[in-house]
Amino acid sequence: MVRVKSRYLLCEVNATDRNLLLQLDDRAVTAAVKDVVQRIHGDYGAALCSFGFSVKYLNAVTGIIFLRFPKRCYKLLWSALPFITSIEARGKKITCFLNCIYVGGTIRTCQKFLIRYNAHQLRRMLPKCKNEEERRDVQQAILDCCLTRNHTDESEDALESEEDE
Amino acid sequence: MSCETALPNLEALKKDSAPERYLKIRLELEKQEVSLSEVQLRFFIVSGLKSLHGEVGAALNFDVLRHDEASNITVLKVPKEGLVKLWSSLTLLGSYMEQRCAFRVLQVSSNPPDS
């Protein structure tokens, strides 16, 4: 049947200064993407971006964002994302770059991928733990992911913020 | 002033495998005395491409093959993939130095025009 199809890009915002990353909000990301698409693809790109583009999910702690694009022009708009060098949020300029890690057709597939990705990141963090307390926290979080998938996101987000401080 | 216009057979043009397309255009200005040099025309077209298609459009590789300053008729060469971008930005270019202007496309072909 006829359905409006779109593509969801799962991107990671890599910032040089992680404390500034916490200032991120969805309006800043929307403005940054629209600005760079206008610069790279002109009026044509800006028109494609005006309807159908939105930021669906933003996690300031881990820097993960879901961008929604219409299916017919997502590749064109995707090609402009590497040109983002900074995002202006709440008066502060965050120097960063966007790394696209997954393209999904629905938010649910992106979410499933994100859960697996976060679990994978936790396992990578385990050998890098600096003290015993951190090591126990990470091990507990990994155990939680394996046993149940419900509370995975909150515990991982809390842990990653602890790691970074 | 009569000018020949060859209506392009767009379907055949799309299927043609030649890698380049040739556009014969005429710039019509409000004040007919103003004529553009080749460099000015090139800059004007690139500015139109940049406004409609951004940096990617401005980087489009097109050549000005022949330019007649008296009649403002120009022949442009462009790769096959860039024809739509170029033609659309020529269509939407509306003003040159605060006077209204229009690009009339006289001929589009995959072989260089003879005259």
Q: Which residues, 6+ apart, have CB-to-CB distance to A43 below 8 Å?
A: B51, B52, B53, B54
Q: Which residues, 6+ apart, have CB-to-CB distance to B87 below 8 Å?
A: B23, B105, B108
Supply the angle between the helices B83-92 and B38-58 in degrees, to the nearest 10: 120
Q: List, run by run, the mean pLDDT of 10-residue segments along chain A (165 residues).
A: 89 89 89 94 92 91 92 93 92 90 93 91 83 83 73 52 43
Bridge partner list, A55? A67
Interface test with B, best of A44, A48, A84 (most B CBs within 10 A): A44
Q: Please, what is the average pLDDT of chain B?
A: 87
B88 Cα to chain A: minimum distance (Å): 10
Residue-level pLDDT at A154: 54
Mean pLDDT of the region B62-72:
90
Residue-level pLDDT at B89: 95
B92 Cα to chain A: minimum distance (Å): 11
pLDDT surpassing 80 at residue B6: no
Residue-level pLDDT at A165: 36
Residue-level pLDDT at B34: 81
pLDDT surpassing 80 at residue B90: yes
- The chain A residue lying nearest B53, using CA atoms, is A42
pLDDT surpassing 70 at residue B101: yes
